[in-house]
Chain A
Amino acid sequence: MIGEHVADTLATEPSAASDDVASSGTATRATRLLGAAALVGVAWLAAFGLGFSPADRDQRESVRILYVHVPSAWLAYLAFVVTAVASGLYLFRRSHALGWDRVAGASAEVGVLFMGITLVSGMLWGRLTWGVFWEWDARLTTTAFLFVTYVGYLAVRGLGGSHQQRARRSAVLALLAVLEIPLVHWSVRLWRSLHQEATVLRPDGDVKMDGLMLFTLFVGIVAFTLMYAWLVVHRQRTLAAEDAADDAGLDRALAARRAEVG
């Protein structure tokens, strides 16, 4: 029951915080603070990524693209893992709380957004570094496949049926789709790849990066994490409102039908 409550009211603050809440929308004081923190993070990222951090010895100025490319890729991975965990919690807990399904759907949608950003920013970086926008390389191909898989997941969520049917079929798909992430991550080692190997999360623990560059990347991770949290909280609440509106519409239709028959 605790899990159900958490999922249904993700990031819901104490009632005292609701005094200044508008009558419509999904914002609260906490989400406004979260959004403001995300904006500050984005400003810091732009300042360090485009200004203060140095050019790379080999990649020169194109390294600046990596301060948005790498965080968006990591956050897409995180979003899809959250989707799988929430789907598992929906599927395997006795309560089958729809709140977990909405967390999964919200996280997947934001993950697709970040994965799309990863692909586009990677293409721009590839054009400067490799001379081409796209190459059917192992990392690029598996990333594109992961993107298409989660677009498919969102399409499956949009199929008809009850909320529980939607939750059940999409949870199964999410638990299968998340298995692609290790394949994408390790593709640069499993196959010959144009894409560089990990610079920060190296198996030997030796980070091969200048201090200010590493700090800028860290700022990017923090900014993208704050954006992700803000978007998922709002999307989850919007999905809850959409489900409630659906239920209310169904109740009205049933009442009208009963009135006709009666």
Chain B
Amino acid sequence: MEDAGFIIGSYVVTFGAVATYAVWLARRARRVTRDLPDHAKPWT
């Protein structure tokens, strides 16, 4: 059914985009904070 492809596609695009951004963000955060001293990371 044509409708199912569009409907499921909209959910895949939505959660896929958020998940891709979240993974990119987590990897970038790990890379950037690796060499920083603790005082530069006020959340720790």
Question: Which residues does A use to contact B, with CB under 8 Å?
Answer: 8-9, 11-13, 18, 21, 24-28, 42, 46, 49-50, 60-62, 64-65, 68-69, 72, 110, 113, 116-117, 120-121, 124-125, 127-128, 227, 230-231, 234-235, 237-238, 240-242, 244-245, 248
Tell me, rounded to whole Å, the shortest Cβ–Cβ distance linking B9 to chain A.
Answer: 6
Are B10 and A25 in contact, CB atoms less than 8 angstroms apart? no
Tell me which residues from 6 to 36 in chain B have a Cβ below 8 Å from any Cβ of chain A.
6-11, 13-15, 17-18, 21-22, 25-26, 28-30, 32-36
Taken together as a complex, chains A and B put the C-alpha atoms of A248 and B34 apart, in Å, by 13
Taken together as a complex, chains A and B put the C-alpha atoms of A225 and B6 apart, in Å, by 24
The 9 tightest CB contacts between A and B, nearest first, are A244-B40, A26-B29, A241-B32, A68-B14, A9-B42, A65-B10, A121-B10, A238-B29, A12-B43
Are B15 and A116 in contact, CB atoms less than 8 angstroms apart? no
Q: Which residue of chain B has its CB nearest to the CB of A26?
A: B29
Taken together as a complex, chains A and B put the C-alpha atoms of A82 and B29 apart, in Å, by 22
Are A25 and B33 in contact, CB atoms less than 8 angstroms apart? yes
Question: Which residues does B use to contact A, with CB under 8 Å?
Answer: 3-4, 6-11, 13-15, 17-18, 21-22, 25-26, 28-30, 32-36, 40-44
Are A121 and B13 in contact, CB atoms less than 8 angstroms apart? yes
Given contacts A8-B42, A50-B8, contact A235 B36 (CB under 8 A): no
Tell me, rounded to whole Å, the shortest Cβ–Cβ distance linking B3 to chain A.
Answer: 5
Tell me, rounded to whole Å, the shortest Cβ–Cβ distance linking A148 to chain B.
Answer: 18
Taken together as a complex, chains A and B put the C-alpha atoms of A51 and B34 apart, in Å, by 43
Are B29 and A46 in contact, CB atoms less than 8 angstroms apart? no
CB contacts between A and B, total, < 8 Å: 113
On chain A, the residues within 8 Å of B8 by CB distance are 50
On chain A, the residues within 8 Å of B42 by CB distance are 8-9, 12, 240
Are B6 and A117 in contact, CB atoms less than 8 angstroms apart? no
Q: Which residue of chain A has its CB nearest to the CB of B1?
A: A61
Q: Which residue of chain B has its CB nearest to the CB of A50?
A: B11
On chain B, the residues within 8 Å of A62 by CB distance are 3, 6-7
Are A65 and B17 in contact, CB atoms less than 8 angstroms apart? no
Taken together as a complex, chains A and B put the C-alpha atoms of A5 and B11 apart, in Å, by 38
On chain A, the residues within 8 Å of B29 by CB distance are 24-27, 234, 237-238, 241
- Partner pick for A117 among B3, B4, B14, CB 8 A cutoff: B14
Taken together as a complex, chains A and B put the C-alpha atoms of A248 and B32 apart, in Å, by 12
Tell me, rounded to whole Å, the shortest Cβ–Cβ distance linking A63 to chain B.
Answer: 9
A-B contact pairs, 27 of them (CB 8 A): A8-B42, A21-B43, A24-B34, A25-B29, A26-B33, A27-B26, A46-B11, A61-B3, A61-B4, A62-B3, A117-B13, A117-B18, A124-B7, A124-B13, A125-B10, A127-B6, A128-B3, A231-B18, A234-B22, A237-B43, A238-B28, A238-B32, A238-B33, A242-B32, A244-B36, A245-B36, A248-B36
